[in-house]
Amino acid sequence: MLNAAELYVEVEPLTVGIVMQSPRVERIAQSLPETLTPVEECGPSTQVDNIPYVPSEHIDDIEFSERLVVNDDYDMDEEEDDDYDVEEEEEEEEESNELDCWGDMPDADNRQTVPILQPPSQSFLENTWDDIHDPSYDGEMCITNWDESQEFQKGLQFSDKQEVQHAIMLYSLKHNQAYKVKESNKTKLHVCCINLCGWRVRACKRSKHGLWEITKYNGPHTCTHDTFTPNSTVLDSKFIEREVRHLVQGDHSIKIKALQKEIKHLHKNYDASYYKVWDARRKAIVHLFGDWDESYHLLPKFMAALIESNPSSKVEWKTLNTGVIGSAYFHRVFWAFGPSIEGFKHCRPVISIDATFLYGKYKGKLMIAMAQDANNSVYPLAFAVVEEESQSSWYWFLDCIKKHVTTLDEICIISDRHTGIMSAIDAILATDDEDDDSSRPPNLYHRFCIRHVASNFNERYHDKQLKNMIKKAGGVNQLRKFNTIMEAIRKLNPSAGKRLDDIPREKWALAHDGGRRYGATTTNLVECFNGVLKGARNLPITAMMEFIFFKLVKYFNDRRNNIRANLEEGQVYSKHAMDIFEKYAEKSLLHIVTEVPDPRPLKTFDSSTWA
């Protein structure tokens, strides 16, 4: 599997214009440049579907005529039909005069239009914040109303050659009949019965409307082929792709086994191989969301369009030199949407960070920075695509956040105990100490996710009781309760207690935190957002970024409408704040307030330090 850094990206002057028409974005983009260097075929990612890859056979390179031959003894180079007759020749001459088979002639009107930026799938806009998995989709518009239960007829139109080929395959499978390809090129397709019974279909591309049309049909097909089986090359990955495309559009991360089950249901219990279905899913993703390699060429233009339409958004690139002027290798990209940056000014100064695998053709990591809004809900803040998790990549990501996202004097970072994160934050703190006055406290505080700390101990000692006690110790905010639980941990497992004491308490215990967490103890919200992005992490990089863009547009719009409705109802505070207030108000009913005169001035104390 290739690194994302090995992809070749051409850097060229961009002429991109954007007209924002909420919620639509119109963009003008130049045609994608040709790939400068070829990228090797890459097998399936071991992160999702671990299967043996077969690089020796490139299914895409096999011609359609070669894949549909059922009779190996038949001479495909034969120029004339065995049942050739004069009447057919005259009809063909008539059709050839009527048709203008375009061949390689360029279109007369090849002007670029202004495409409207629309989500490739409705799943890009679905509300998956409350319901992560929603497989609904909008089917593609089809030119013809033909279905496999009908006979072909002269004049029937299809949108392209692939539609004709797919229809012939469906017909053949439906009637358990075999056929062979007599002629196949860019403008013509001619197939006939393998038994030479006279059944044939001839289609051609019409110049007057650009559609493919059946120009001759001898049918119905009445003969049978005893040895015909759908296990032949007729039912290849390209055919399977057409059958499962709508499922992939609705659920980008759908499992191979689910697709195999669908094929078996559709086609007489045909058991498609794991690799063939995997390849079909890959082809469907390419068809729906674009090619992985070309997606990297489109990425700079998409980002330029994003900045043009949202000037407050921030993007930072990190590329590697190729030695060719005007070209660079993609290495990393950071981006944060303008509304996220602006809204963070009103959030708690706490950021949770995490990284997750990309499951597409090229490996890499998606880094995510997440905050919390006033309702204690997820607040997506910033993203980056990097080659791997390391001190270098995390330092770069956090530095981008510091430069582009927040100018707060103090910020708290919550994460797991990944060595790359800890090393990066130590390096940032060391740099700040050198640049700033040593008497000033550091402006970056690092805290550990309590759940990850407890899980690490459970993996080492295999003790769920210990795990729960550590989570409880980390979550209490009173020193008295914390000390009591720690004593119990030391009695239960002295080794674990000693190891826990070696971790700085302010890093994992709320009672020693100093109020830097603002009550946030875990990175759960980041991981919940990873679940929202699950269906996008196996998409080409630009499609993945479009997915994130549309998800955030939908999310912020929903939240805006909810808040507007709450304000109209007279609600001043968030539901989360009111729930806490009502909880403490109910608890206070059990208390008795005694007024005691005291001449001393009022002072403020931190209740978390009370023993």
CB burial class (10 A; 0-12, 13-18, 19+) of residue 154? Answer: exposed
Structure confidence by residue, pLDDT tens digits, 347-363: 999 999 999 999 888 88
Structure confidence by residue, pLDDT tens digits, 157-168: 888 888 888 888
The predicted structure's pLDDT at residue 42: 31
Does the pLDDT at position 230 exceed 60? no
Residue 351: strand, helix, or coil: strand
DSSP class of 441: P
DSSP class of 359: -
The predicted structure's pLDDT at residue 170: 79
Three-class SS of 120-140 = CCHHHCCCCCCCCCCCCCCCC
The predicted structure's pLDDT at residue 400: 95
Among 63-72, 192-201, 233-242, 473-482, the minimum mean pLDDT is found in 63-72
Angle formed at CA 250 by CA 124 and CA 360, multiple of 5 degrees: 75
Q: Cis omega (within 30 of 0) on the bond before 23?
A: yes
The predicted structure's pLDDT at residue 46: 31
User: Is 395:428 a contact under the CB 8 Å cutoff?
Assistant: yes
Among 32-36, 211-215, 479-483, 507-511, the minimum mean pLDDT is found in 32-36
> Mean of the pLDDT values across residues 122-133?
56
Q: Where are the domains of the chain?
A: 69-98+145-227
> Mean of the pLDDT values across residues 526-554?
88
Structure confidence by residue, pLDDT tens digits, 456-495: 999 999 999 999 999 999 999 899 999 999 999 999 999 9
pLDDT band of 440, cuts 50, 70, 90: very low
> Which position has the token pair 């499951």?
359
Does the pLDDT at position 131 exceed 90? no
Angle formed at CA 438 by CA 425 and CA 392, multiple of 5 degrees: 20
DSSP string, 277-336: HHHHHHHHHHHHH--HHHHHHHHHHHHHHHHHH-TT-EEEEEEEE-SSTTEEEEEEEEEE
> Mean of the pLDDT values across residues 247-257?
85
The predicted structure's pLDDT at residue 228: 53
> Mean of the pLDDT values across residues 63-67?
28
Q: Which residues share a beta bridge with 284?
A: none
Q: Which residues share a beta bridge with 212?
A: 158, 205
Q: Which of 178, 188, 149, 142 is nearest to 163 (CA)?
A: 142
pLDDT band of 68, cuts 50, 70, 90: very low
Within 10 angstroms of residue 592's Cβ, the number of other Cβ atoms is: 4
The predicted structure's pLDDT at residue 564: 92
The predicted structure's pLDDT at residue 31: 36
pLDDT band of 128, cuts 50, 70, 90: low
Reduced to 3 DSSP states, what percent helix, strand and coil does the chain have, rounded to the nearest 5? 40, 15, 45
Within 10 angstroms of residue 159's Cβ, the number of other Cβ atoms is: 15
Token pair for 354: 């995490």
Q: What is the rounded CA–CA span in Å between residue 313 and residue 304?
A: 10
Is pTM beyond 0.75 here?
no
Structure confidence by residue, pLDDT tens digits, 299-326: 999 999 999 998 999 999 999 988 888 8
Report the chain's C-alpha Rg in angstroms. Answer: 31
Token pair for 96: 């050839």
> Mean of the pLDDT values across residues 409-430?
93
The continuous run of DSSP H or E covering 488 comes out as helix 479-492
The predicted structure's pLDDT at residue 234: 59
The predicted structure's pLDDT at residue 219: 76
Among 37-51, 347-361, 402-416, the minimum mean pLDDT is found in 37-51
pLDDT band of 148, cuts 50, 70, 90: low
Does the pLDDT at position 113 exceed 70? no
Q: Which of 467, 402, 400, 409 is nearest to 436 (CA)?
A: 409
Highest mean pLDDT among 270-274, 322-326, 433-437, 468-472: 468-472
Measured in Å, how far apart are the chain's first and last C-alpha atoms?
A: 56
Q: What is the rounded CA–CA span in Å between residue 191 and residue 221?
A: 12
Average pLDDT, the chain: 75
User: Is 510:475 a contact under the CB 8 Å cutoff?
Assistant: yes
User: Is 506:513 a contact under the CB 8 Å cutoff?
Assistant: yes
Residues 30, 31, 34, 35: is their CA dihedral positive or negative?
positive
Q: Are strands 378-386 and 327-336 parallel, antiparallel or unpaired?
A: antiparallel
CA dihedral (132, 546, 523, 410) in degrees, to 10, reads -150
- Counting residues of the chain whose pLDDT is more than 90, the rounded percentage is 34
Token pair for 422: 């800890």
User: Is 148:154 a contact under the CB 8 Å cutoff?
Assistant: no
Among 5-19, 88-102, 390-404, the minimum mean pLDDT is found in 5-19
